[in-house]
Amino acid sequence: MISKILIGLAAIILIFVVVVAIRPDNFKVERKAAIPAPAVVVFAQVNDMHKWQSWSPWAKMDPNAKISFEGPEAGVGAAFSWAGNDKIGEGKMTILESHPNDLVRFKLEFIKPFAGTSETLFTFQPKDGQTEVTWTMTGKNNFLSKAISLFMDCDKMVGPQFEEGLANLKAQSVAAAKP
């Protein structure tokens, strides 16, 4: 009887491991927004790490988070670190690539609650008198991430925060564009 239970338990564990192992190796979250402001204005909001607190959806989740900056104020090498509550965790963003009014690419390092590294990309496209902003985050799923993704969808968790951030970015950009 006990051996049948152990065999059944081993089979369940094996099936779980196989299901997790065949989950996607990569993840991607992407959202877009049309912002009625010139690309130069929108780009400046993203490329300057000091301006992030005014539009980032995570800044509102923990206004008491400890933040620090490294490197230049904007552009390649500019970095922003945070340590906050359990809603925002701890991590660091560093600008790896910056092309004026075109794109900003970040290395996003999470320390807490889970260690991990992702890439975040913002692109800016003039379109019909507005700027179409695309915010994309990509990364690799390790075994633990694949297991968690069985129960929590990264796109459904982070996507709404990207949407809120883009709405905030729109408001900041429109205000900054006014003469």
The domain made up of 26-177 has a fold known as: Alpha-D-Glucose-1,6-Bisphosphate; Chain A, domain 4 (3.30.530)
Cα–Cα dist 115/60, whole Å:
22
- Mean per-residue pLDDT for 55-71? 92
Sheet of strand 103-112, all strands in order from the earlier edge strand to the far edge = 26-35, 130-140, 116-127, 103-112, 90-99, 79-83, 66-70
Domain boundaries, the chain: 26-177
| pLDDT value of residue 149 | 63
Determine the pLDDT at residue 21: 72
**Residue 107: pLDDT above 70?**
yes
Whether the CB-CB separation of 168 and 58 falls below 8 Å is answered with no
How confident is residue 80, by pLDDT bands cut at 50, 70 and 90? very high
- Per-residue pLDDT tens over the stretch 12-58: 777 777 776 767 777 888 999 999 999 999 999 999 999 998 999 98
Provide CB contacts within 8 A for 168, sequence distance 6+: 54, 55, 56, 57
The confidence score (pLDDT) of residue 179 equals 73
**pLDDT tens readout for residues 157-175:** 778 999 999 999 999 999 9
